[in-house]
């Protein structure tokens, strides 16, 4: 078996000048985890989704609560 039977023929690439957010967008749009970086048609590196997760600031998580407290002045406080 040869590599040519398993390779991706149409490779998505970025330039070294691509911003981190742009690279992240390419990974997400094309559902890929590795992004080859080309300069003048020559491979100069590879960026992975893990590399970008470590480099980008963390995304805010939606606030979630399983319960909340309700309190009225002069009333009893309880959990709903």
Rg for the chain (alpha carbons), in Å? 23
Contact 46, 36 (CB under 8 A): yes
Of 5-9, 61-65, 76-80, the range with the lowest mean pLDDT is 76-80
* HSE-CB for 19 with a 13 A CA cutoff: 4
Model's pTM, two decimal places?
Answer: 0.66
DSSP letters of the chain? --GGGTS-SS---B-TT--HHHHHHHHHHTT-SEEEEEETTEEEEEEEHHHHHHHSPPPPPPP--S--EE--TTS--EE-
Residues 16-32: pLDDT tens digits? Answer: 999 999 999 999 999 99
Whether the per-residue pLDDT at 63 is higher than 70: the answer is no
């Amino acid at each position: 078996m040869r590599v040519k039977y398993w390779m991706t023929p149409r490779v998505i690439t970025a330039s070294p000048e691509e911003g981190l957010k742009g690279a992240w967008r390419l990974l997400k749009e094309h559902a890929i985890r590795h992004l080859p970086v080309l300069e003048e048609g020559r491979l100069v590196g590879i960026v992975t989704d893990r590399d970008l997760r470590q480099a980008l600031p963390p995304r805010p998580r939606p606030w979630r609560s399983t319960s909340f407290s309700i309190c009225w002045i002069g009333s009893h406080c309880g959990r709903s």
